Amino acid sequence: MENFFELLWQPFRDFWAGLVGFIPNFLAMLIIIAAGFFVAWVVKAVLSKAFSALSFDAWCDRAGLTAMARKANVWSKPSDIMLKVVYWFLAVVFAMIGLTALRLQAIDSLTMQFFTYLPRAFSALLILIIGYVITGFVSRAVLIAAVNAGYRYAKLLAEAVRMLLIVLILAMALEQLQVAPGIVVAAFSIIFGGIVISLAIAFGAGGIEAARKVIEKSSEEKKESDRDIEHL
């Protein structure tokens, strides 16, 4: 009979022991999370001062970033958005650290994953931002050069270049994030190759006549241009 009570009692005792053992961990977690919010708050306050000193908002306005955000119906000040992002990022990081204090296997491995993934997410973001800038630059260069060369479908060409670059950059970013890398590479090869081949075919088959005309025209022009206008 005693055994039976022992059997009944044992789980409660274990639970209690576990609870007593767990409470310090739990408190540690709470403290870390609270500290996280505090640190995030301090960083936010410092950054906010720095932003207003550097007139970050005005800079965003002039760079056209504000207008971009507002077209997406985001109406807060750019600095507020930045501050919120930084604040919550720090808060989440500390929350993750805090969770490890619980010493639970599942959570531990989750936070491990989170922290090992962080650098990749950063570099993917960086690729996207730099890629966005480069894409705009290159496609505009193509557009202007094509117009100045008298090419009728300049915008189309520039858009095509932009699409190609976007596909390339998205593929790079996804590859960096390691989202099904095999499929990304394969899909990218197929899409990119497809575009190139279809362009080649389009220009090859459809453009022979046009190309001949262009060549004929330019050689004709060479013949007749004796003295052209001097611009300088």
Partner 1 sequence: MSDFYQTDIITTLHRLGTPRLERLEYELEGFTKQRPMTLVLPALYTEFQADAIKGIIEELKKVRYVKEIVLSLGRASDDEFDRAREFMSAIPYDVKILHNEGKRIKEVYATIDRNGLWAGEDGKGRSAWLAYGYVMAAARTDVIALHDCDIVSYSREMLARLCYPVVNPNIDVVFCKGFYSRVTDRMHGRVTRLLITPLIRALQKLVGGHDFLAFLDSFRYPLAGEFCMITDLAWVNRIPWDWGLEVGVLSEVFRNYSPRRVCQVDISDNYEHKHQSLSADDASKGLMRMSVDISKTIFRVLAAEGVVFSENFFKSLEVGYLRLAEDTMVKYEADATLNGLVYDRHEEAKAVEAFVKAIYKASQVLLENPLNTPLIPSWKRVSSAIPGVLDMLRAAVDEDNR
Partner 2 sequence: MLPCARRGRKTDKMAEQPEKADIIVGIPSYNNADTIGHVVRAVDAGLTKYFPGKKAVIVNSDGGSSDGTPEAVRSATVDHDTFLISHPAYPVNRISMPYNGIPGKGSAFRAIFQKAVDMQAEACCVVDSDLRSITPEWIELLLTPVAKKGFDFVAPFYSRHKFDGTITNSIVYPMTRALYGKRIRQPIGGEFAFSGALAEFYLKQDVWNTQVARFGIDIWMTTEAVANSFKVCQTFLGAKIHDPKDPASSLSDMLVQVVTTLFDLTEKHSGAWMGVKGSADVPTFGFRYHVGLEPVKVNVEKMLDVFRIGVKELSGIWTDVLGPGDFKEVESISAVPGASFRFPSGLWTRVIYDYATAYYRKKMSSEHLIKSLVPLYLGRTASFVMEVEDKDHDGAEAEIEKLCLEFEDKKSYLINNWR
Binding site for partner 1 (CB under 8 A): 55, 57-58, 61-64, 66-68, 70-71, 73, 75, 77
Q: How would you class 166 by CB atoms within 10 Å of its CB: exposed for 0-12, middle for 13-18, buried for 19 or more?
A: middle
In angstroms, the CA 111 to CA 88 distance is 16
User: How buried is 176 (Cβ within 10 angstroms: 0-12 exposed, 13-18 middle, 19+ buried)?
Assistant: buried
User: In whole angstroms, what is the distance from residue 29 CA to residue 189 CA?
Assistant: 47
Nearer to partner 1, 73 or 225 (CB): 73
144 binds, among partner 2, partner 1, none (CB under 5 to 8 A by kind): partner 2
- The answer to whether residue 226 forms part of the interface with partner 2 (CB under 8 A) is yes
State how far the Cα of 138 lies from the Cα of 127, in Å rounded to an integer.
16
Phi, psi of 217 (to 5 degrees): -60, -45
Is 144 one of the binding residues for partner 2 (CB under 8 A)? yes
Structure tokens given for 65: 């970033």
Q: Choose, by CB under 8 A, the member of 84, 140, 212, 213 that binds partner 2.
A: 140
The interface partner of residue 223, options being partner 2, partner 1, none and the CB cut-off 5 to 8 Å by kind, is none
Q: Is 231 in the site for partner 2 (CB under 8 A)?
A: yes
Q: Determine, following the binding rule CB under 8 A, whether residue 225 of this chain makes contact with partner 2.
A: yes
CB atoms within 10 A of CB 198: 10
Q: How far is CA 3 from CA 11, 13, 16, in A?
A: 13, 15, 20
Letters for 85-124 (x = contact with partner 2 by CB under 8 A, - = none) are ----------------------------------------
* In the complex, least distance from residue 59 CB atom to partner 1, rounded to whole angstroms: 10
Nearest to partner 2 of 64, 182 (CB atom): 64
Q: Which of 152, 182, 205, 218 binds partner 2 (CB under 8 A)?
A: 152
What is the C-alpha to C-alpha distance for residues 97 and 36, in angstroms, rounded to an integer?
Answer: 9
Q: 141 contacts which partner out of partner 1, partner 2, none, CB within 5 to 8 A by kind?
A: partner 2
